[in-house]
Amino acid sequence: MTKENFLKIQQQSKKLIKNNGFAWLHTFVDLGLIFLAFFLSIQSGIILWGIGQILFFACIWRCFSILHSCVHNSFFKSRSLNNFWGRFFSILALIPYSSWKDAHLKHHRYPRHRELDPSLCLPRKENITPSVRKVLDLCWKLNIPVFSFLTIFFKSGQSKDSVGLDYSFFLVIFCHLVLILFLQLTYIKIFFVPYALYLWTSDMVIISQHNLFSNIQDQALVDLKLQDHDIVTRTIHVPEVIGRYVFLNFDLHTLHHVVPNVPHYHLRKIESSCISKISMFDWYKKIRKIPGHIVYLD
């Protein structure tokens, strides 16, 4: 990104600050949507159940985007409120908040650096065994979403804060075990389809944003300036209604890296035509031809 374009974006972002009133409204709207999705998903009628499943899928993605802003301390003005609601929404997003926060902030400091970026926590493709390679290639071929699970597992293992890791990880596990205990088989009726869609789409979104940049050497990524984060990030174009109301602007990923402290609810206010985008359909069509172990580990 040119210095001129970077300064234009920085100038626009100065007034886009955290707003407690909007954050509280946002929170209560999402709590209402979660409750509505839950209510519809327990109905016996296929139409109401189907609407509830689609809404729950959207709610899970929204939970992820909110916790992502909380990690950056850019949702509420208060750090304690960000941490509280980040942990709350992490339960539905299936992400251990404390360890993911530690890893994600390091990722922004050292994006795509093989030794320093926890997002590159998976083994290198040249270090895996032929049997693991075959399994990964098969998962990719069959659209089995393993990338997000593997990344969260390895990221959590790298957290320096073992207490935070234990608390966050077991909070997510405990809450879902309680739900299973009370809901029993109804848990599957409510959550199976939304989580299957969430995991599959999260694989596609996360892979599209940072994978397949192996041509960049680590030496060039030490102390990378914000204006240069466009060389290690990719923005995938999705329909605006999905980007705005499902991903909560998480699709504007390169822009987020350039101005990481701007709340997600302000990102679309920034004019960022200087950032190139590629159609999600074109991207997906292109990478389907690449073996899975390369897509996951490159």
Give the integer Cα–Cα distance in Å for 240 and 264. 14
pLDDT of residue 221: 58
- The pLDDT of 254-281, averaged and rounded, is 90
List alpha helices for the chain, DSSP H.
Answer: 3-13, 20-41, 46-71, 79-93, 97-109, 130-141, 147-157, 162-183, 185-210, 240-245, 253-258, 280-287, 292-297
Give the integer Cα–Cα distance in Å for 193 and 247. 18
pLDDT of residue 208: 86
Residue-range domain boundaries for the chain:
3-297
* Residue given tokens 């596609």 in the structure block: 204
pLDDT of residue 164: 46
- The pLDDT of 178-183, averaged and rounded, is 96
158-168: pLDDT as tens digits: 555 444 445 78
Could you tell me the pLDDT band of residue 215, with boundaries at 50, 70 and 90? Answer: low
Q: Which of 18-22, 119-123, 284-288 has the highest mean pLDDT?
A: 18-22
- The pLDDT of 294-298, averaged and rounded, is 83
- Among the residue ranges 58-67, 115-124, 137-146, 204-213, the one predicted with the least confidence is 115-124
- Whether the predicted pLDDT of 27 surpasses 90: yes
**Which residues make Cβ contacts (< 8 Å) with residue 52, sequence separation at least 6?**
36, 37, 38, 39, 40, 41, 42, 43, 190
Give the integer Cα–Cα distance in Å for 99 and 106. 11
Average pLDDT in the chain:
87
